[in-house]
Amino acid sequence: MDDGFAEYVAHRHLRLCRMAYLLTRDWGTAEDLVQTALAKAWVSWRRIEGNPDPYVYRIIVNTHASWWRRLWRGEVPVEALPETVDPNDQAAAADDRAVLWNAIGALSPRQRAVIVLHYFEGRTLTQVADIVGCSLGAVKSQLGRALTRLRVDPDIRTMNLEELQR
Amino acid sequence: MKHTESDLRTLLEEYTHDPAGRQPVPHLKAIVRRGRRTRRVRRALGAGTALAVAATATVLLTGPLRTGQGEAAQPPALARIEAPPKLREEFPVVLGAERSTLSLIHSERFSTTGAARTVTFTPTSHFTGYEVVCGDPRAWIVISSPLKGGEDGGTSGRCEGGGGGHHDKLSVPSGWLKGPQSIKVWVFPADAPVVKVAEELGRCVPSGESTTCDEQAAGRALRNQDVLDRLSAEVGERPGEWAVGIYDSPSPGPATTADSSGRPSPANATTAEPPGTSDPGQTTPQTTPQTTP
């Protein structure tokens, strides 16, 4: 059985691994997750109509969630970050990114999936809702909570654009 | 400190590049191999659920009989062995997210074990399923059915562990709907020397951590024609109740039934074969859409 499956794997494997890495934060686990998802997709390949990406994404997200539940070790994300930095400290830029990266890792699997699908894969919130299998409102809610926990302010980008336009 | 959405996008993009510069390589063969394994497990689960329901029904039905007759007069184990197996009317199929049920289109009952039986039926779709139920759940069963590539697949092992499976569009042989098809079934008594015969013929291949010829390995060995022939010759025909059901998408006509001495319909016939006379050209099943229980 093939029907373009081999071409799809060759074409999309790297991107899927990158997306899976953002969910798992470990390259080995990410590759295993993608291989598992593609194996599941292979079983139903001939029944997939149109672009297989949403179907494969959904398998990746759901499989990762099930693995996460199995491997969860009791980390409890807190509202306040343990340390703060001076906003004028140029050397702290790398630390900021590390803090943001760690904060992404503290998100729940569903919140992380919404963030990755929307900001990394460029999927609209409607598409994200279809992939993760919940309503658009639920996705907006998850996204809002995730951005709050990441200290990402969606208004800042707008403000910067306005400043550039002046 | 507050981050922007742009910060987030940049960070996600940067962190997905392996600092060591390695790029994951797709292993297509491994992926397909895992996919095939997944498909086999799903089919086995479908068949296993069916047998669990059948076994539970058998135990429940035999319970009142035992109570009425008294345990001293008839040992409970014997009562369970003697219970006639019941076939269910519907066969659940799970293919990925799709769930459906197949209806019983043909069934046959047998009262002896040890000989190969060929069950012939006329499929109505590509999703034909089959299931064997036994009066003694510990009986050994082997089901051989043709696959797409012309090879034989099927199920082997204890009857209680799962005695059935189903085709789909990917596994069904070409021309499946053009006429009558058949599967071959062997049922051996629970005390048949399967392990001994498998070891004597060098067909027992332990898997996993096991180094001995356990029941699982012996069950797999039953897929070899020489093991079946030797076992049939050693055991001979013995009394034992079992039945086979063929399931498919609902057809216009009613389900046909027959017993081992009955008169099956022309399209759905059964043939009893004496031990050692089954098709010598049948090869060892290597590719099986259904798994060994």
CA proximity to A58, closest of B48, A66, B84: A66
Residues B69 and B96 in one domain: no
Q: Do B15 and A19 touch (CB under 8 A)?
A: no
On whether the CB atoms of residues B172 and B120 are closer than 8 A, the answer is no
Q: Number of structural domains, chain B?
A: 2
Residues B52 and B113 in one domain: no
Q: Which domains does chain A have, with CATH numbers?
A: 1-83 (1.10.1740.10), 85-166 (1.10.10.10)
Instruction: Dump pLDDT digits (tens) for A24-41.
Output: 888 888 998 999 999 999
Element (H, E) at B63: helix B28-69
Of B11, B35, B95, which has the smallest distance from its Cβ to A42's Cβ?
B35
CATH code, domain carrying B135: 2.60.120.380
Instruction: Dump pLDDT digits (tens) for B172-213.
Output: 888 888 888 889 899 999 889 888 888 888 888 877 666 778
Residues B135 and B255 in one domain: yes
**Chain A residue at shortest CA distance from B35:** A39
Give the structural domain span for B56.
5-73
Model confidence at B64, pLDDT cuts 50, 70, 90, reads: very low
Q: Is residue B85 part of a domain?
A: no
Residues B48 and B186 in one domain: no
Residues B134 and B9 in one domain: no
Is pLDDT above 80 for B60? Answer: no
Half-sphere exposure of A98 (CA within 13 A, CB side): 8
Q: Is residue B212 part of a domain?
A: yes
Q: Is residue B64 part of a domain?
A: yes
Identify the domain boundary among B29, B45, B73.
B73
Q: Is residue B10 part of a domain?
A: yes
Lowest mean pLDDT, pick from A2-16, B71-85, B120-134, B180-194: B71-85
Averaged pLDDT of chain A:
80
How far is A38 from A42, CA to CA, in rounded Å? Answer: 6
A121 CA: distance to closest CA in chain B (Å): 10
Identify the domain boundary among B13, B45, B73.
B73
Model confidence at B292, pLDDT cuts 50, 70, 90, reads: very low
ipTM higher than threshold 0.85: no
pTM of the entire predicted model: 0.43
Residues B107 and B61 in one domain: no
Lowest mean pLDDT, pick from A122-131, A154-163, B263-272: B263-272
Q: Is residue B291 part of a domain?
A: no
Supply the Cα-derived Rg of chain B in whole angstroms. 23
Residues B102 and B200 in one domain: yes
Residues B144 and B247 in one domain: yes
Residues B44 and B134 in one domain: no
In the three-class reduction of DSSP (H, G, I as helix; E, B as strand; rest coil), residue B280 is classed as coil
- Asked if B28 has any chain A CB less than 8 Å from its own CB, the reply is yes
- Asked if A87 has any chain B CB less than 8 Å from its own CB, the reply is yes
- pLDDT score for A18: 93
- In this prediction, what percent of chain B has a pLDDT beyond 90? 4
Residues B55 and B117 in one domain: no
How far is A37 from B273, CA to CA, in rounded Å? Answer: 46
- pLDDT score for A47: 85
- Asked if A38 has any chain B CB less than 8 Å from its own CB, the reply is yes
Q: Do A9 and B28 touch (CB under 8 A)?
A: yes
Identify the domain boundary among B40, B73, B106.
B73
Between positions 49 and 68 of A, the ones with CB within 8 A of B are none
CB contacts of B96 in chain A (<8 Å) are: 40, 43-44, 47
For chains A and B, what is the number of CB pairs under 8 angstroms? 114
- pLDDT score for B287: 30
Q: What is the mean pLDDT of residues B92-111?
A: 81
- Asked if A164 has any chain B CB less than 8 Å from its own CB, the reply is no
Residues B210 and B160 in one domain: yes
CB contacts of B28 in chain A (<8 Å) are: 6, 9-10
**Chain A residue at shortest CA distance from B21:** A27
Integer CA distances (angstroms), B18 to A21, A25, A37, A117, B24, in order:
10, 11, 21, 19, 9
Q: Is residue B275 part of a domain?
A: no
Of A21, A42, A160, which has the smallest distance from its Cβ to B4's Cβ?
A160
Q: Is residue B280 part of a domain?
A: no
- pLDDT score for B293: 34
A74 CA: distance to closest CA in chain B (Å): 25
How far is A56 from A123, CA to CA, in rounded Å? Answer: 14
Lowest mean pLDDT, pick from A65-69, A99-103, A159-163, B125-129: A159-163
Residues B154 and B41 in one domain: no
CB contacts of B95 in chain A (<8 Å) are: 43-44
- Asked if A154 has any chain B CB less than 8 Å from its own CB, the reply is yes
**Chain A residue at shortest CA distance from B17:** A18
Q: Is residue B59 part of a domain?
A: yes
Instruction: Dump pLDDT digits (tens) for B232-284.
Output: 888 888 888 899 999 998 544 445 555 554 344 334 444 334 333 333 333 33
- pLDDT score for B81: 42
